[in-house]
Structure 1
Amino acid sequence: MCSCKDREQDPQTLLEDVHKPIIVGAGPSGLAASACLSKLGVPSLILEKSDCIASLWQHKTYDRLKLHLPKLYCELPLWGFPEHFPKYPTKRQFISYMEAYASHFSIRPKFNQNVAKAEFDPIHGFWRVQTQEFQYISRWLIVATGENAESFVPDIVGLDKFKGLVRHSSDYKSGSDFRNQRVLVVGGGNSGMELSLDLCRHNATPYMVVRNTVHVLPRDIFGFSTFGIAMSLLKWLPLRVVDKLLLLMANLLLGNTDHLGLRRPKTGPIELKNITGKTPVLDVGALSHIKSGNIKVMASVKEITKTGAKFMDGQEKEFDSIILATGYRSNVPSWLKSEFFTKEGIPKTPFPDGWKGGNGLYTVGFTKRGLLGTASEAIKIAKEIADQWRAINDLSEISVIPISSHLEKSQAT
């Protein structure tokens, strides 16, 4: 590794030829990619903008969060959960697992390294990755910031006029902050459902806005994970047959949800997930509170007022607080210069080939298939880079000149 001043850049910026893959993001995807590379003898450099690994989990999740899928389907590659962990690990348990994972594979990210810009240099054949203090260069760049890098706040008419508290779900910790309040929860996905449930348990009154159709499935069917049952059935039956079986069991165990304001899509839950990435809601108790009236399902918001909201069905209600359970989005377009991604920050190449972008660019964690998708991509990426790594390092020492030396020579001319 070498370090020198790059005369084309800010004179205070140091240039480092890291001669190993650069991974942007120290969440589960970045850790998985680094561990798989390490297993094949390839070192890596992880750049993380926050001060810890898995910052989304550590700083942007609510206290009662548990994994929605059994731990079997949420393991990172090469190292599983401790056997004593429950079937659905808690937030704290999952964080401790990732910390142990990083320790086990000796993964030491460089923290507080916010990547402002990354682009491929076609003349020299490497990636320039710019942070505030450094410009790193490498033949390989792995984008591991994922689909949920930034909170998404939709444009809602009048939101800025509301006099009460407005909080995104990423800043929500516990319903104890909203005790005895009337709370508008915008969003009826897994987060919106769970936050509404948590609010009920702290004597708040949640009104949950469900704009679109949604599949609500039981988290377990007769003691077995619904997701696990679906995965097993898909080995033997067509997808649409499995969807019909899941909906049959959901109607048997949960009843028809249409009259509750939770209209099901015409497309089945697994097929819809594959097409759009929209995840079905796995019920952990919220549905019973909707049936009892403790959680009130509302139509789309027409306008936020100073003291509440007007709804598309003509209703108008007052609220003490508003929680935006409106999800997250990718931040890739803000820093990566590449035509491989859409303007929404998702690979243009669909699954299962979206992990490889060309010119040494790779992505992990953008499959909309959870940690199972992450593990699969990390393994593929590591194998391909390892093959290139060995080819480069099998060359004679004379031919392996740090790419920063080439850069310095070009600048001198």
Structure 2
Amino acid sequence: MENLFRLVDHEDFFSRRCIWVNGPVIVGAGPSGLATAACLREQGVPFMVLEREDCIASLWQKRTYDRLKLHLPKQFCQLPKLPFPEDFPEYPSKKQFINYLESYATKFQINPRFNECVQFARYDETSGLWRVKTKTSGSAEFEYICRWLVVATGENAECVMPEIDGLNEFKGDVIHAADYKSGEKFRGKKVLVVGCGNSGMELSLDLCNYNASPSMVVRSSVHVLPREICGKSTFELAVMLMKWLPLWFVDKLLLILAWLVLGNIAKYGLKRPAEGPLQLKNREGKTPVLDIGALEKIRSGDIKVVPGIKRLNGFSVELVNGEEHDVDAVVLATGYRSNVPCWLQEGELFSKNGFPKSPFPNGWKGNSGLYAVGFTRRGLSGASSDAIRIAQDIGLVWKQETKQKKQRTTACHRRCISQF
């Protein structure tokens, strides 16, 4: 009897490690993965969501600063099938957005398998199926077998750590923006913020609000636009104008309006790129900075703008212009990157940088049942657009096959009755 129990346990052990998924496997439980799952649920297609962390939207929950708010109006950030609550402000806070995502997962019955990190995913030509191997935080290994694979790990899966001469020998604190929560621990300190995107600008502003002295490294050109123009969202204005005008002309109008609202920012060390903000966003995915108060602090001198770093020395930084400044801490607002090439064994849909080879709006579908969501460089609205397309594409095949199965079952049932 004891040997029988051991045999049953042994068989159960192996059955748990190889799991057939009757529908797509979605890798990633961020907004992109949740949106895809919700759209599949509406199509009546079953799915499995795999998430390496212990919660949904881990980037938002664990790797964002406390003062973060959505940079775009809420109507451009809501996911398919569920608008934001009416009482939410135009720019919801981090906490409000996380609450919205948790309500979204509950409404559409999305229950990811947490703490499962995908080691590799590859297409098996022989069986015509995807094999997705994962490892849990407890070192257990699983292999999921499925017909469709949806890559929803997004553009911001891993922190980008820059190579700075002397960084490892620097004696002060060094953190990535992903680990920055607030300026509380930096009160009275001289902080070097490396990066001048939306995160770099906002962290510098936050540091000022906690009486720290930030210096922001601006190594290249950057577009800074007001978040609102005459009480209207700059992004919303751009979307409206693009319905009637060519992109290059909308860029010209935005830059004229930005100059009227913000003045000449070049005199503060912020040089604009030659290419317009929307054209640059389309080509490189480089998002313009939407100013929410940092520029005023730059004008007043509370935020110092400095050129590139030559090297770090102990508690100081040597800049490329020869200046040297005392520094107590370094915050790396140097962005994130995709991690798809680390685990997906495929070379047709995705390029080596972890983004689809085909530009928006054609990068959502590959071959052999492979899909990509959240890689459009167009934020949450781009992810929603992908999610809807993917669910419709899979749903069409699913419904056709389900209909055929029902027809075969009915025909078989009729034959059985006639024989009886």
Which digits, 9 at most, give the CA deviation of each residue in 1:272-325, with x for residues without a partner? 111110000000000000000000000011111111211111111110000000
Aligned letter for 1:120? Y
Matched, 1:197 2:205: yes
Matched, 1:232 2:240: yes
In structure 2, the residue matched to 1:95 is 98
Which segment drifts farther, 385-394 or 295-304?
385-394
User: Number of matched residues?
Assistant: 395
Please, what is the CA RMSD of the aligned residues? 1.9
Aligned residue for 2:131, secondary structure, equals: strand
**TM-score (ref. length: structure 1):** 0.93
Which consecutive segments of 4 or more residues in structure 1 shift more than 6 A?
4-7, 10-13, 397-400
| 1:240, distance to aligned residue in structure 2 (A) | 1.2
| 1:142, distance to aligned residue in structure 2 (A) | 0.1
Matched, 1:297 2:300: no
- Which stretches in structure 2 are left out of the alignment for 5+ residues? 1-7, 136-140, 410-420
| 1:16, distance to aligned residue in structure 2 (A) | 0.8
In structure 1, the residue matched to 2:188 is 180
2: distance between equivalents of 1:210 and 1:51? 36
Matched, 1:109 2:112: yes
Distance 1:6 1:333, change over 3 A: farther
In structure 1, the residue matched to 2:220 is 212
Q: Which of 356, 368, 371 is the matching residue for 1:359? A: 368
| 1:181, distance to aligned residue in structure 2 (A) | 0.1
In structure 2, the residue matched to 1:406 is none
2: distance between equivalents of 1:398 and 1:15? 31
Identity %: 57
Q: Is the 8 A contact 1:47 1:113 kept in 2?
A: yes
Aligned residue for 1:30, secondary structure, equals: helix
Alignment of 1:7-406 (within 5 A): 14-132=17-135, 133-339=141-347, 340-396=349-405
Aligned residue for 2:49, secondary structure, equals: strand
**TM-score (ref. length: structure 2):** 0.91
Aligned residue for 1:314, secondary structure, equals: coil
2: distance between equivalents of 1:398 and 1:319? 73
1: distance between equivalents of 2:10 and 2:403? 29
Aligned residue for 1:81, secondary structure, equals: coil
Which digits, 9 at most, give the CA deviation of each residue in 1:142-201, with x for residues without a partner? 000000011111111110000010000000000001000000000000000000000000
Which segment drifts farther, 306-315 or 388-397?
388-397
Structure with the higher fraction of residues in helix conformation:
2
Aligned residue for 1:258, secondary structure, equals: helix
| 1:396, distance to aligned residue in structure 2 (A) | 3.6
- Which stretches in structure 1 are left out of the alignment for 5+ residues? 401-413
Q: Is the 8 A contact 1:5 1:15 kept in 2?
A: no
1: distance between equivalents of 2:15 and 2:406? 32
Which digits, 9 at most, give the CA deviation of each residue in 1:19-70, with x for residues without a partner? 1110000000000000001111111110000000000000000000000000
Q: Is the 8 A contact 2:22 2:46 kept in 1?
A: no
Which digits, 9 at most, give the CA deviation of each residue in 1:332-387, with x for residues without a partner? 11111010212211111221110001100000000000011011110000000001
| 1:397, distance to aligned residue in structure 2 (A) | 7.6
Distance 1:130 1:204, change over 3 A: same
| 1:391, distance to aligned residue in structure 2 (A) | 2.5
Q: Is the 8 A contact 1:5 1:13 kept in 2?
A: no
Aligned letter for 1:83? E
2: distance between equivalents of 1:305 and 1:381? 51
Aligned residue for 2:377, secondary structure, equals: coil
1: distance between equivalents of 2:316 and 2:21? 54
Distance 1:17 1:399, change over 3 A: farther
Q: Is the 8 A contact 1:183 1:323 kept in 2?
A: yes
Larger radius of gyration between Structure 1 and Structure 2: 2
Q: Is the 8 A contact 1:64 1:174 kept in 2?
A: yes
| 1:388, distance to aligned residue in structure 2 (A) | 1.2
